[in-house]
Chain A
């Protein structure tokens, strides 16, 4: 009777260990697949929460200052004043965009900038 009890417990212990290992294996496989998808889909390049790409403090301050909270109402009358307001706020937004001079400038990867002689 005691031997049977001991046997049942050993088998139970083994099953538990196998369950644990199986769970870890599934977790590893699932994580690997999601990382591959994350990389291949290109989302990794849009994600700034990864190490080395987090925004700097000054950048966060600048984002707070330059945030335009205007929301043009989807419904209501259309008058000259309404359209003037639209243009005024869009102008502000445009100025914020233009504050980033020469975005993705072609010079950045020029030979000169990379330290490669012209010829």
Chain B
């Protein structure tokens, strides 16, 4: 259906589209679930740990029909910190708090009202609020616990991302992976500045020190990003159990060779385990349909 018609609306889908002389023509498309973004995911304990302290949460919603809402896809990945508090409890709690807030504020609110307005926070604010909610929930429920939290909200062709910690978000483009998020890790910062080599960083005593994490007290700074996604592109979220075991290039090759997002996630987990599987491996991959 034409965009104009879809939003403003003829009464039935099978009516001919009204003539729109000045508007660029839109191809008629059959509405079906196959046109939505495809999601794959994996969360694996790895080779050397006994528990999986990562959490993955995916929500997808689509509507077809008169004045339909844009497709909604929410991806959340959290990597809990070990030690005295159970990381898996903290990461799951953070992921759920974040998901609840975004679904309520964005999707449930859009189901209720078609007009958008200033009485609602912007999407960027909603992501920051969700991360803060996860932070305060963790502080109140599991004091001393900590987790990373990376989130991607896809609405139509735009991706809204937020990040705290060193789990990563990548844009999967035809020419490979581009990291969108920035790790909040001290050692990475030093490598970035040329103060440490990658080898020095790997053995640095502070290599696992994050300078930002969910669960910290005080003000939580949340990074946010907005990206336009082209047809055929994808987004990858992963914990350091994946990106710490192989290069971005290797990850990109495995994704490009896979038949589906789910197959890609599974192949990535196998490769990370083959490389040693030092940590829990969590991966979420969403692939947008090619334009028709």
A and B found bound together: no
Interface of B with A (CB < 8 Å)? none
